[in-house]
Every structure is written in C-alpha cells, then in structure tokens.
C-alpha cells in the first residue's frame, strides 16, 4: 500500500492519504498528557491519528515517553477520558478486557505460561469459554512464523526468539484488530528478528491489522513501517515516512537520528 503523508503546521497531526483516499483512522489520540506524581510531564498534549491497516513506528530517545504512550492505547496506563479513541469510541468507555483483546500487546521479553505452546495459544480464547481446535492452533502458529512441530513443546524448550513468536501467536488468538509492540525484537538475534518482522508485515497485508511498534532500531523501522512518529521529551515532534527520516527538522530529532544510524 503506497501511503503519502502530510503533517500539519504543528507537526503533530497526521493528515494521511493512502492511494489518494483518506484512510480510515483506527486510533485517534487527542491532547494526551501524563504528569508524574512528582509533577514531571511524561507526555505533553500528544495528538496523533493512526490509520487502519498500516504499521506505525515510534522512535525517540530513551525516556522520551514511547512506552507510556503505547501503554495508554490499551489502558495498561489509564489515559484521561476523551484522549484516546478506537474506531471513534473513547477507550475509557470500553470494557478494559475486551479493549485488550482488540488492542493486543507484545513486550520486549516473552513470558510464557506453564504448559505447552498449544496451551499458551489457547489461553485467551479459553478465558472466554472457547477451545481452539488443533487446526486453529496450527494456523496461529503459522501466522507467527512457527511450524507445527512447536505445538507440543514446552516453554522451557524454546529460545527467546521462538518464545516471542509463541507470545505473538497467543496474542493473535484473541483476534486483535490492533497490535502494540514494545521493542519486541531487542532481545532477539537477527534471524528471529526477521521472523517477527515477516510475521508483522504479513499480518498487515493479509489481515489489515493496525500495528504500532516502538523500536530502538531505526533500520527495523525503515524495513517495516509505513510511517514513523518521532517522540522527544513527551512530545511528537515529527511524523515522517521511513525513507524521509533524514528530513527531520527538530534539533533533538536530528541529533537522535545521527547518533542512531
Ligand atoms: N509510573 C511512572 N511514574 C513516574 N515516572 C514514570 C513512570 N513511568 C514512566 N515514567 C517516566 O516517564 C518517562 C518516560 O518513560 P517511558 O518508559 O515511557 O520512556 P521510553 O521512551 O519508552 O524509554 P525507553 O526507550 O528507555 O524504554 C521516563 O522519564 C520515566 O522515568
């Protein structure tokens, strides 16, 4: 999907055009602010539109607020009401568990539950009283770049990269519409990283999944993201296409990009 983006005067809102048509916005963020208990501003009036079916990369210096922002999107951190909308609905008005099914999350390090890979994949649907059949489990494994031999392995037998793919399959079992990933490959070797990246790109293409990925790897973002959001000191300072990152104007953004490339 060829996407063209235009940023408004403040550099904060994404006014997107996809193939010449206005894309459907999956998530809208409006004046999202977080102040710590000590009065420090962690997020400062973030405004962002996240189009459906695209991969948005989030990059920025350490401590700039990327994880906090990501966690606000499925209420792992509770945003103020009327600041985050999913399909136009204020997420604070949604049942938090159903929100987290729709907006799944994968963390830096996978934590698998006891039992087999299949038990892990079946976990989410089971909570709703649905038992996935073998074929459904195999399909989720395949979506996560794992072959059927993993079905009956236990978590302890897996490498971190394999466990991360099982964690992905477990998240996908909830049939999310949005996937949030917080540095999902920073603990992985290049091959495992490529496996995860391939899975993400396939999910976008085949299921129109909306994906928001925080990464410290600018190269990774350039490989898979359709649009990049640059966060500095709790503010979105640039929204760019990945091949135009060098055009970032904010001085901190330029410095960060120079040091990271
Ligand atoms: N619960 C909290 N209470 C107080 N301060 C917090 C809390 N969570 C995060 N912070 C602070 O908010 C700022 C942003 O943290 P956050 O983890 O969102 O940044 P980040 O960009 O994801 O960093 P990194 O790239 O290092 O993971 C940091 O200064 C952090 O210390």
Summarised one tens digit per residue, pLDDT across range 157-208 is 999 999 999 999 999 999 999 999 999 999 888 998 999 999 999 999 999 9
3-class DSSP assignment, residue 247: helix
d(CA 210, CA 5): 16
User: Residue 5 — pLDDT band, cuts 50, 70, 90?
Assistant: very low
| Ligand 1 centre distance from Cα of residue 194 (Å) | 27
| Closest residue to atom 26 of ligand 1, CA basis | 62
Answer yes or no: is the C-beta of 135 below 6 A from any ligand 1 atom: no
Answer yes or no: is the C-beta of 133 below 6 A from any ligand 1 atom: no
Give the tokens for residue 152: 């009956």
In the predicted structure, residue 3 carries a pLDDT above the cut 80: no
| Closest residue to atom 31 of ligand 1, CA basis | 63
Cα distances (Å, whole numbers) of residue 41 to 45, 79, 91, 119, 234: 10, 14, 22, 42, 7
| Ligand 1 centre distance from Cα of residue 21 (Å) | 36
Answer yes or no: is the C-beta of 124 below 6 A from any ligand 1 atom: no
| Ligand 1 centre distance from Cα of residue 43 (Å) | 9
User: Residue 255 — pLDDT band, cuts 50, 70, 90?
Assistant: confident
Going from N- to C-terminal start, the domains of the chain cover 3-111+176-260
pLDDT of residue 22: 60
In the predicted structure, residue 33 carries a pLDDT above the cut 70: yes
> What does 40-54 look like in DSSP terms, one character per residue?
-EEEEEEEEEEETT-
| Closest residue to atom 7 of ligand 1, CA basis | 36
pLDDT of residue 13: 43
pLDDT of residue 107: 93
In the predicted structure, residue 220 carries a pLDDT above the cut 70: yes
Answer yes or no: is the C-beta of 64 below 6 A from any ligand 1 atom: yes
d(CA 106, CA 172): 10
CATH code reported for the domain at 3-111+176-260? 3.40.50.300
Share of the chain above pLDDT 70, in %: 91
| Closest residue to atom 5 of ligand 1, CA basis | 36
ipTM higher than the 0.90 cut: yes
In the predicted structure, residue 54 carries a pLDDT above the cut 90: yes
pLDDT of residue 261: 66
In the predicted structure, residue 66 carries a pLDDT above the cut 90: yes
Per-residue pLDDT, averaged over 24-52, amounts to 94
Q: Report CA dihedral (171, 70, 27, 83) to the nearest 10 degrees.
A: 130
Mean of per-residue pLDDT scores for the chain: 89
Q: Is 36 exposed, middle or buried (0-12, 13-18, 19+ CB in 10 A)?
A: exposed
Residue to mutate (ligand 1; options 44, 59, 65, 186; most atoms within 8 A of CB): 65
Cβ 154 vs Cβ 116: under 8 Å: yes
| Ligand 1 centre distance from Cα of residue 68 (Å) | 6
Cβ 114 vs Cβ 59: under 8 Å: no
Could you report the per-residue pLDDT of 105-132, keeping only the tens digit for each? 999 999 999 999 999 999 999 999 999 9
């Amino acid at each position: 999907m060829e996407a063209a983006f235009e940023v408004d005067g403040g550099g904060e809102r994404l006014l997107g055009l996809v193939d010449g048509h206005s894309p459907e916005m999956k998530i809208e963020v409006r004046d999202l602010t977080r102040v710590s208990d000590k009065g420090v501003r962690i997020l400062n009036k973030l405004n962002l539109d996240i189009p459906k079916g695209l991969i948005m990369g989030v990059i920025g210096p350490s401590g700039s607020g990327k994880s906090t922002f990501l966690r606000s999107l499925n209420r792992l951190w509770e945003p103020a009401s009327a600041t985050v909308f999913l399909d136009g609905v204020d997420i604070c008005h949604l049942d938090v568990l159903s929100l987290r099914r729709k907006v799944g999350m994968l963390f830096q390090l996978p934590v698998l539950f006891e039992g087999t890979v299949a038990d892990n994949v079946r976990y989410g649907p089971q909570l709703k009283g649905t038992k996935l059949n073998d074929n459904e489990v195999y399909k989720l494994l395949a979506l996560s770049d794992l072959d059927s031999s993993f079905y009956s392995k236990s978590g302890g037998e897996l490498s971190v990269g394999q466990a991360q793919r099982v964690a992905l399959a477990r998240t996908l079992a909830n049939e999310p519409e949005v996937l949030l990933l917080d540095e999902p490959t920073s603990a992985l070797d290049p091959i495992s990283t490529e496996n995860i990246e391939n899975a993400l790109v396939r999910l976008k293409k085949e299921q129109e999944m909306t994906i928001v990925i925080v990464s410290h790897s600018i190269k990774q973002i350039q490989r898979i993201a359709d649009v990049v959001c640059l966060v500095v000191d709790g503010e979105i300072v640039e929204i760019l296409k990945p091949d135009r990152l060098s055009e970032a104007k904010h001085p901190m953004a330029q410095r960060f990009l120079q040091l990271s490339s």
